[in-house]
Amino acid sequence: MTVPARAWGAAVHAEVTVSDGGEITAVAHIPAGHPAFPGHFPGLPVFPAVGLIDLVHDCARRARPDLVRVGRIERCRLRGVVAPGDDVSVKLTMTRTGDGVRCAAKLRTSRGPAADIRLMCHEPPGAGS
């Protein structure tokens, strides 16, 4: 089954919080009826890594709306299964570099670590000067 690019985030709603100290946290519910589950994998549905990557990017854009796109995926280490109906907690740090903004996230479910994801996101021209 092919899921349109923005359907990943459209079907997952994340509550994002930015503390006064700049810590970014989010909780996202992965609905059991998400269109990625049929076929990934039959008999043992698992939320795909691309959906987790999109979740991290969505959280970063909510905290910093000027982060227009992902330039590259620096790391995506899956550490556990994200299943239908799971709540995924996200802890995100963002650091400006010469290449853009590095978004590093740790994702967890109630069963423990789910993924470590690091993205390099780009700001509009002139935003980092």
pLDDT in tens, 14-24: 889 998 878 89
- Tokens for 127, please give them: 């935003």
Provide the β-strand partners of residue 26: 16, 90
Name the DSSP letter for residue 44: S
- Identify the CATH number of the domain in which residue 18 sits: 3.10.129.10
pTM of the model: 0.88
pLDDT in tens, 72-109: 999 999 999 999 999 999 999 999 998 899 999 999 99
120, amino acid identity: M
Within 10 A of 62 (CB to CB), how many other CB atoms are there?
17
**Is 98 a member of any domain?**
yes
Q: Domain of 93?
A: 7-122
**Is 73 a member of any domain?**
yes
Share of the chain above pLDDT 90, in %: 60
**Is 129 a member of any domain?**
no
**Is 128 a member of any domain?**
no
For residues 76 and 119, is the Cβ–Cβ distance under 8 A? Answer: no
Number of structural domains, the chain? 1
**Is 51 a member of any domain?**
yes
- pLDDT value for 90: 96
